[in-house]
Amino acid sequence: MFGFERFFQRKQKTFYIRDGASVYKVAWTDWSAEKAINLGYSKSAVVFACIEKRAKLLSAISFVTETLNAKGEWETSPNHPLQTLLGKPNPYQSFYELIYAASQQLDLSGNAFLREVKVKSALEGEITKELYLLESANVQIVEGKTKLIEKYVYQAGNKKIEYDESEIVQLMYPNPSSQTTGMPILKGAGIAVDIDRETSEWQKVSLSNRSLADIYIKVDESTTPEQMNFIKEQLKQNYEGPKNARKPIVTTGGVVNFGQSAAELDFTNSKKANWIEICAAFGVSLSNLGMTENVNLANAEAMNKQLYQDTIIPLATLYEIQLTNQLCGEGVRIRADYSNLSALQENLDKKLDRAQKLFNMGVPFNLINQKLELGFEDIEGGDMGYLASSLIPAGISFEDDEPVKSAEAAYGKKNH
């Protein structure tokens, strides 16, 4: 990939990537959220696009509060205090903005810390009134002796605040090496991100310095150093920089091709392979990022739906579980509502066509409404299936005094 010789040489806890005489330090060994932002998120367009794509899609999902009713069934509770919190977590942010920023923090650091502001309620006891996102780079987790987490320490400059574990809602990605600290998505793509960043820098410097590095000009032996310097300056002025790219050279000296071809200097294909590796870590594709041209509308819609099913919905489910465990009491839960996401909705005409076919087969309307998520209220008699009167079972004789019994005798008793 890129003509780099990649190797993983551990030396003083640092990885290296070698390109001939150059040695590039990989910055992901001693991980920090600050490095993730400065060396990944803000330096790689693909990393930026992946993180922003995930944040936008996740924050567009509505989260609702559900409670158990007397029948033991879950039902939405729009007037529950927790639903008010999900609508407006603090005076300065909507829940959309809070989840957007939390998603960014999770991808970069593996954790998102939400500080709770609690008040006492006569009916509910102590409830969470507001939520604020803390910068994960400034939060230290202190493990306890008798419980998993003792406290959280927030330190930014001279400001240091300690929070009891009950005051923080910690969203985190599962980490096989830690029960208290999440695994950053970006860390898994660390080496690929370093290569992407370094090659982009190489291209930028190469373009700035490019004059005639891939040729040499043979001059007469009698040429003086002053004359040679003059030739070099003329070549720089007339042929260096983007505006003079591929401009033909006119000279009385002999010009010899000395360097790589244009195809070898073009890193696009190699970079694309590296981008795919980065995207794979984030669970998105280049097509999802709009970085491919040969995608028609039908394929794009299918890929967007797959992105939701394979990546976004599992992440939203993780949010559901962690928010419920840390914010909800008994008989209360938080659930993601996907009903308004157009990417997951089938064409209405196709749904109705399927519904009609199922109804004609005798499937009850209420069951069809539930399975196809048509959004109708259940109707009286909708739990029973119906068949068109024109459908007469074979073997029934109209001369028979008891046709129903004949049908039952021929096919057995059925519940219609």
Task: Pick the range with the lowest mean pLDDT from 189-198, 311-320, 333-342, 360-369.
Answer: 189-198
Task: Pick the range with the lowest mean pLDDT from 20-34, 57-71, 169-183, 286-300.
Answer: 20-34
Is the pLDDT assigned to residue 392 strictly greater than 90?
no
Structure tokens at 7: 């190797």
> What mean pLDDT value characterizes the chain?
78
- Shared domain check, 306 and 393: no
How do residues 38-59 score in pLDDT, each as one tens digit? Answer: 888 888 889 999 999 999 999 9
CA distances from 302 to 49, 296, 316 (A): 20, 10, 20
- Shared domain check, 122 and 53: yes
Order of all β-strands in the sheet with 125-134: 125-134, 111-121, 168-172
Q: Is residue 113 part of a domain?
A: yes
- Shared domain check, 100 and 39: yes
Mean pLDDT, residues 64-87? 91
Rounded to the nearest 5°, which phi and psi values hold at 189? Answer: -105, 20
Confidence of residue 4 (pLDDT cuts 50, 70, 90): very low
Record the pTM: 0.67
Q: How far apart are CA 351 and CA 372, in angstroms?
A: 7
- Shared domain check, 297 and 183: yes
Is the pLDDT assigned to residue 13 strictly greater than 50?
no
Rg (CA), the chain: 32
Mean pLDDT, residues 274-301? 79
Is the pLDDT assigned to residue 279 strictly greater than 70?
yes
Q: Is residue 341 part of a domain?
A: yes
Coil, strand or helix: which one is 145?
A: coil
| pLDDT recorded at residue 283 | 92
Q: Is residue 134 part of a domain?
A: yes
- Shared domain check, 362 and 312: no
Confidence of residue 416 (pLDDT cuts 50, 70, 90): very low
How do residues 193-244 score in pLDDT, each as one tens digit? Answer: 887 887 777 767 666 665 445 566 777 778 888 888 887 787 777 776 666 6
How many domains are there within the chain? Answer: 2
| pLDDT recorded at residue 171 | 96
Point out the domain boundary residue: 303, 320, 345.
Answer: 345
Taking the CA of residue 92 as centre, how many other CA atoms within 13 Å lie in the half-sphere pointing to its CB?
3
Q: Is residue 44 part of a domain?
A: yes
| For the chain, percent of residues with pLDDT exceeding 70 | 70
Q: Is residue 224 part of a domain?
A: no
- Shared domain check, 113 and 63: yes
Q: How far apart are CA 296 and CA 15, in angstroms?
A: 41
- Shared domain check, 401 and 314: no
| pLDDT recorded at residue 397 | 60
Residue 21 is inside which H or E element, if any?
A: none
Point out the domain boundary residue: 303, 321, 345.
Answer: 345
- Shared domain check, 75 and 165: yes
Q: Is residue 307 part of a domain?
A: yes
- Shared domain check, 317 and 398: no
- Show the domain range for 113: 1-208+282-345
- Per DSSP, 377 falls in state P
| pLDDT recorded at residue 385 | 84
Structure tokens at 144: 């306890």
Residue 64 β-bridge partners: 335
Q: Is residue 270 part of a domain?
A: no
Whether the Cβ atoms of residue 241 and residue 209 lie closer than 8 Å to each other: no
Is the pLDDT assigned to residue 263 strictly greater than 60?
no
| pLDDT recorded at residue 212 | 47
- Shared domain check, 160 and 14: yes
- Shared domain check, 350 and 329: no
Residue 290 is inside which H or E element, if any?
A: none
| pLDDT recorded at residue 85 | 93
Which is nearest to 323 in space by CA: 95, 169, 180, 117?
169
Confidence of residue 141 (pLDDT cuts 50, 70, 90): very high
Point out the domain boundary residue: 345, 376, 391.
Answer: 345
Whether the Cβ atoms of residue 132 and residue 113 lie closer than 8 Å to each other: no
- Shared domain check, 385 and 335: no
